[in-house]
């Protein structure tokens, strides 16, 4: 117990009544029992008799050192709670150590040690001035992404119920000391409001280099995002090397070795890469190599991007790809797509595509429709991915009203629009018990070239107007559905791919990403004005 107390940073009493307060770079000696040496339970100084309001001017001839009550750290996203205290705070120094209480935290320890120019000392039980200690706690009921950071007596302890929570604590600390800053004395208790916080990149329409994607991963990690979506197959290109179907891969693509590097880097930042092979629409690049599987209407005219879901060979091709890439992307999330199947955008799908209508009736009965067949396609692809132990999502316009075939119960709705034919409002999914991820195209869609009615989203608008409950347009769903909204993803779509360079994309999404994660970490009214928030972002880099 004494070891634990010392590790927590309480003052050690030495010799004849002299206390040592380790301030990191120097020891400030004060009489034992003085205001500076005695700590309250939250780390604050307890005023002595004769000490005016705890100012540290205790009666007697011996001088003391006093500290102002600390202020909450300024970070993005903002911490949820901070208990202030009086003390010197903490700054990293080359002679300071990063130590861990558990070998599972070695990666987090090495990372923050390198970032702060400190020595990584591994598992240690001893206590030294200036230590940063990372620890796992046994709070089984806590949010696994929560953490507590205690700055006291010239040392820091970051603890959490999982390595992810501890990692987020190190991100807070990194921001606090950025540019020579000081981590304020006291205790931070922090956790996200939403479990899923993502950025999605359309790497199919526009090739992004592996180095650029890795830079985004580092940025996302420091901001406490935990998902990176990769939409790598579309009409324009198929952008990742394939062993099962090399004929579909575009000349400019990522190798599997590059993708593994991306996935590994993301994992080191507690980011899950969420792959998406969109189907049965948006398959133009795949179909260019398999024209026999292209959907054609009654007049024999090919339908852009659409695969003929009445053919067994179509399902076999997609299942080959889903099984192959499940091995490349080991994370627990998968995006099945399902949107904008052009067969369902005509006035009479059954008349326009008689082969689809016949297949629907053969499989599901005399009253079945093309929408039933498309729903069955989505369910079949889910059956392929499910044995890989993934949680699956699909775009909201891949879920259809009034069908006899229902989408699988475990499919999460990726809600992006309310503009599709037969649009269903978000409450319709929520009231049926569906879980939803927010991709609201009104706020969270960065579409290159601003085609149609899209305009580049601004961080200011997200920061001041949007919350995770605003799934469609600008109106929030009732609060009773909040728990069903798992989180949100800011999406970069590259419809007009040459409108911006990848560096311009990085600059354009910089503030929207920061505003988005602020509202996912804490959807309440931010304490900073937009101007203050933007200035903080500029200071933190």
CB-facing half-sphere around the CA of 138: CA atoms within 13 A:
0
Alpha helices in 305-439 (DSSP H): 312-328, 349-352, 354-364, 370-385, 426-431
Which strand (E) or helix (H) includes residue 211? helix 210-222
Cβ count within 10 A of residue 191: 19
Contact 344, 290 (CB under 8 A): no
Contacts of 454 (CB under 8 A, 6+ apart): 441, 445, 447
Q: Report residue 215: phi and psi, to 5°.
A: -60, -40
As a whole number of angstroms, the distance between CA 260 and CA 330 comes to 10
| Active-site residue, from 176, 191, 340, 442 | 340
Spatial neighbors of 211 by CB under 8 A, at least 6 apart, are: none
Strands 18-22 and 27-31: antiparallel
Q: For residue 126, give both structure tokens.
A: 């001893």
**Would you give the distance in Å from CA 269 to the centre of its chain?**
10
In whole angstroms, what is the distance from residue 397 CA to residue 453 CA? 18
Residues contacting residue 435 through CB under 8 Å, at least 6 positions apart? 412, 413, 484, 485, 486
Task: Characterize 152-169 residue by residue with b for buried, 16 or more Cβ atoms within 10 angstroms of its Cβ, and e for exposed.
Answer: bbbbbbbbbbbbbbbbbb
Residue 340 is among the residues annotated as catalytic for this protein: yes
How many other CB atoms are found less than 10 A from the CB of residue 383? 11
Positions marked active-site: 340
């Amino acid at each position: 117990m004494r070891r634990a107390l010392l590790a927590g940073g309480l003052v050690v009493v030495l010799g004849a009544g002299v206390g040592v307060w380790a301030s990191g770079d120097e020891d400030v000696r004060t009489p034992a029992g003085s205001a500076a040496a005695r700590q309250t339970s939250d780390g604050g100084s307890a005023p002595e008799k004769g000490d005016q309001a705890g100012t540290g001017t205790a009666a007697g001839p011996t001088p003391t050192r006093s500290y102002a009550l600390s202020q909450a750290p300024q970070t993005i996203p903002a911490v949820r709670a901070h208990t202030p205290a009086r003390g010197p705070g903490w700054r990293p120094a080359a002679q300071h150590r990063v130590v861990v209480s558990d070998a599972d935290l070695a990666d987090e320890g090495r990372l923050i040690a390198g970032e702060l120019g400190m020595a990584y000392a591994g598992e240690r039980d001893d206590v030294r001035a200036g230590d940063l200690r990372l620890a796992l706690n046994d709070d089984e009921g806590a949010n696994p992404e929560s953490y507590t950071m205690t700055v006291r007596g010239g040392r820091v302890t970051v603890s959490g119920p999982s390595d992810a929570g501890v990692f987020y604590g190190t991100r807070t600390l990194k921001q606090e000391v950025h540019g020579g800053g000081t981590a304020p004395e006291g205790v931070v208790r922090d956790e996200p409001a939403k479990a899923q916080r993502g950025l999605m990149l359309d790497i199919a329409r526009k090739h992004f280099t592996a180095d650029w994607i890795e830079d985004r991963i580092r940025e996302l990690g420091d901001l406490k995002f935990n998902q990176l979506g990769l939409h790598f197959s579309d009409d324009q290109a198929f952008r990742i090397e394939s062993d099962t179907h090399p004929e579909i891969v575009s000349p400019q693509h990522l190798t599997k070795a590059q993708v593994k590097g991306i996935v590994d880097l993301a994992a080191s930042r507690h980011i899950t890469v969420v792959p998406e092979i969109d189907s049965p629409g948006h398959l133009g690049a795949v179909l260019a190599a398999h024209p026999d599987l292209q959907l054609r209407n009654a007049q024999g005219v090919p339908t852009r991007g659409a695969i003929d879901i009445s053919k067994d060979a179509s399902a076999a091709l997609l299942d080959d790809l889903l099984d192959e890439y499940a091995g490349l992307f080991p994370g627990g999330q998968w995006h099945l797509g399902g949107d904008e199947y052009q067969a369902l955008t005509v006035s009479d799908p059954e008349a326009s595509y008689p082969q689809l209508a016949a297949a629907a009736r053969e499989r599901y009965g005399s009253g079945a429709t093309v929408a039933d067949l498309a729903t069955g396609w989505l369910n079949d692809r889910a059956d392929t991915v499910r044995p890989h132990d993934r949680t699956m999502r699909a775009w909201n316009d891949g879920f259809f009203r009034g069908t006899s075939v229902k989408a699988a119960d475990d499919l999460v709705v990726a809600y992006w629009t309310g503009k599709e034919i037969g649009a269903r409002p978000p409450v319709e999914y929520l009231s049926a018990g569906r879980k939803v991820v927010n991709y609201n195209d009104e706020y969270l869609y960065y579409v290159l070239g601003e085609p149609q009615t899209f305009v580049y989203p601004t961080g200011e608008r997200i920061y001041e107007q949007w919350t995770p409950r605003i799934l469609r347009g600008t109106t929030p769903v009732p609060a009773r559905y909040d728990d069903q909204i798992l989180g949100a993803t800011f999406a970069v779509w590259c419809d007009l791919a040459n409108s911006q360079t990848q560096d311009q994309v990085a600059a354009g999404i910089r503030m929207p990403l920061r505003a988005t994660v602020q509202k996912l970490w804490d959807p309440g009214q931010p304490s900073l004005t937009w101007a203050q928030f933007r200035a903080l972002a500029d200071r933190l880099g």
